[in-house]
Structure 1
Amino acid sequence: MVRIAAFPAEDKNNPYINNFYSALCDESVKLVASNGSAYAWLKNNLDEYDIVHFHWLIEFYNNSSWKICFSHAIKFIQMLLFLKKSRKKVIFTLHNTFPHESRSRLIDWLVRVAILHICECVIVHSYSAKRQLRYLFGKFSNVVVMRHGHYKNNYLNLISREQARNKLNITAEEKVILFVGAIRPYKGVSELVLAFKKLKTSNLKLIIAGKLKESSYANQLELQISSDERIILHNKFIDDEELQLYFNACDLVVLPFNNSLTSGSLLLAYSFNKPVLVPQIASLNEYHISGLTYTIDGSLDSAIVNTLDNLKAIPTSDIAMEMQKFNWKECILPVKRKVANLS
């Protein structure tokens, strides 16, 4: 039995963690419950685990003070060295090349270089991510490429298109574009708004649903939106039960990311059988589904128009077949093999 201590071991706002370990754990792999400070728990419970798996590292060191941030980063690296000395195996999943919001890119790089050289396995979700990892941090032979799984079993999808539109006061004739999720500058929402405003068609609607953090960026975005009554902003955290409302009301999901190493948002849209317009980013190209994935070729406004004009109804049976490659039990197999080799 291989015992894994994971950080985090759960995330109430993101089903990725639960899906990952539900697929990974079986009679030969067990997820060990930890509590309190990761540092103290790992030091005081050496007999309880064999492998430590880290996901997002920024919570271990980020701080508005550069000095404190650096101090916390050194403390985290010392913990990694302690694990190595204690003959514990370390796995790291590289979800993002760098954290999207952090105090210091230099410190981010330092922490990543440390864990990448100490760990026994790095998990990435695309071959493009593997190439980026080697380019930015050096060559590694311990990289496992694992497809990101879907979210079909995590969210309700019972409401009809008509019911969803009635609740959102949208007519049957209107074409609806959707962006859903936390609203951050790197996600390109401002660029989406500006592109949408160039489209003068009256039967178009843009729904932006997600929490907008207070900032100068938020003020600028709200000002851009206020001048166009076709744009609907629902500035709030979207509950799991509400996702079906937005996805089933829309015709097209647009993800105008400035950069992306992994996109759970793309898999989320697929999970509701929705066509998605994405930028020409290598990591996203690896998740192409015929009939659902459209790429931005040229300006964003023209790409939106062209995509809406060329949308085709895809049989749900065809989508279901395509989605099989994103089944968690299949996706996790490369990680299972690696964990078995580490034991």
Structure 2
Amino acid sequence: MTTTAARAAVTKDPTTAGPDVIIVQQTLVPPDGHTKFVDQMVGMDNPAVVHRFFSWKRAIVSRYDVFHAHWPELTIRGATPLRRFMRRRYMDAFLLRARLTRTPIVRHLHNVEPHEPGSAAERRSLRRFDKATDVYIRLNPTTVPPTDRPVVTALHGHYRKAYAAHPLPEPQPGRVVYFGIIRPYKGVDRLATVFSELDGDDLSLRIVGSPSTGQREMVEAHCARDPRITALLRYVSDAELVDEVGRAELVVLPYNEMHNSGAILAAMSLSRPVLAPRTPANTALSEEVGPGWILEYDGDLTADVIRDALHTVRTGERSDEPDLSERDWDHVGRIIEGAYRQAIARAARRR
């Protein structure tokens, strides 16, 4: 689908279709005490929407008005081939149920493609899922949906309300912070390598987050080689995250692939400047929040890029805080409700 076609498919005005209160079956699991996208979804102050958490049994046999998918590939992955096979069959059973009952399917486009590619069987299942989808919700206006179904833009909401309960420390000069799940595509190895090329005992790199397989050993090796690099390698509480990110003079998110990032919104919510690769999504966000908050770089991350970014943070002009006025979750929630009602109306026309 071309970008022009994608823009033409955008629906700005929500319909009024559906019941007064919409019951939504999410593919999200319940909140676990760490602020995540699920907390924002279920925390929206919208009495017209009731959320249910995921299991394949609920998706297949329970009653609800809309099925809302996030990262659908995660619902069919598993630790063993048998488990993956069975979960793909669960998806097939759900799609049959959705077709027979005309249950509308809404899919949130968090990523253009899964970060970790799946098998050919998984890709076939996801294509069937996209074929059955009624409405897409994208987190930024640069995302092109995989099919020609209608698409609604609902910007990723901020985390200011969630983090406001915790004290925000002052930034420490020279402190560079990476935070978030540590996976190979997020470029933490490259960040630590080029940071060590920087001179100055007044500089430090703090790496915070839960590592995927093999990443803990990599980070610990960097910490052993350069005493200016320290790490907290686990999931952190909201209070710990606010403290760790709050102490950053500069947050660096050197992802090899970057489209939508909850981490960059978390940093903006805490008013900490971010260095990140230049992408259409990051450029659009930079224009939205105002100059000086998102510093983009081209090509590979280098020591010079980090040094120049620190200089810009210290000498450049920026507002007291990023402009996140379009990312209030109550506002976002009303847009998402509109997407649900549009999907309900579309499914009703198939009868």
TM-score normalized by the length of structure 1: 0.84
State the distance in 1 between where 2:204 and 2:267 align.
18
- Would you say the 8 A contact 2:182–2:210 is kept in 1? yes
What's the offset of the Cα at 1:95? 1.5
Residue pair 1:116, 1:122 contacting (<8 A) in 2 also: no
Counterpart-to-counterpart distance in 2, 1:108 and 1:295:
34
> Where do residues 1-343 of structure 1 align in structure 2 (5 Å cutoff)?
1=20, 2-8=22-28, 10-12=30-32, 13-23=34-44, 25-26=46-47, 29-33=48-52, 38-46=55-63, 49-66=64-81, 68-101=83-116, 104-130=118-144, 133-134=145-146, 139-155=147-163, 156-161=165-170, 174-215=173-214, 217-288=215-286, 289=289, 290-300=291-301, 301-311=303-313, 312=316, 314-316=318-320, 319=321, 322-341=323-342, 342-343=344-345
| Structure 1 segments (4+ residues) deviating >6 Å | none
Alpha-carbon contact 2:42-2:51 (below 8 Å) kept: no
CA contact (8 A) 1:98 1:108 kept: no
State, as a whole percentage, how many aligned pairs show the same letter. Answer: 21
Cα offsets for 1:167-201 (capped at 9, x unmatched): xxxxx6x4010001221111110010111011122
Assess, with a 3 A threshold, how the Cα gap between structure 1 residues 42 and 220 changes in structure 2: closer, same or farther. Answer: closer
One-letter amino acid matched to 1:141? R
Which segment drifts farther, 195-204 or 273-282? Answer: 195-204
Aligned length: 316
Secondary structure (helix, strand or coil) at the match of 1:40 reads helix
* Alpha-carbon distance change, 74 to 285 in structure 1, aligned in 2, over 3 angstroms: farther
For residue 67 of structure 1, report the CA deviation from its aligned partner.
5.4
SS in 2 for 1:123: strand
Deviation digits for residues 299-339 of structure 1, max 9, x if unmatched? Answer: 422111111111136342xx26x111221223344323222
Whichever residue aligns with residue 38 of structure 1, its letter is: S
List alignment gaps of at least 5 residues for structure 2.
1-19, 346-351
CA distance in 1, matches of 2:274, 2:122: 31
* Cα 1:108–1:201 shift into 2, 3 Å: farther
Superposed displacement of residue 40, structure 1: 2.5
Higher relative contact order (Cα pairs below 8 Å, separated by 6+ residues): 2
Segment of structure 1 superposing worse, 120-129 or 1-10: 1-10
Residue 16 of structure 2 is matched in structure 1 by none
Residue 9 of structure 1: CA displacement? 5.5
CA contact (8 A) 1:251 1:274 kept: yes
Q: TM-score, normalised by structure 2?
A: 0.82
CA separation in 1, counterparts of 2:166 and 2:293?
18
Q: How far did 1:51 drift?
A: 0.9
Aligned to 1:165: none
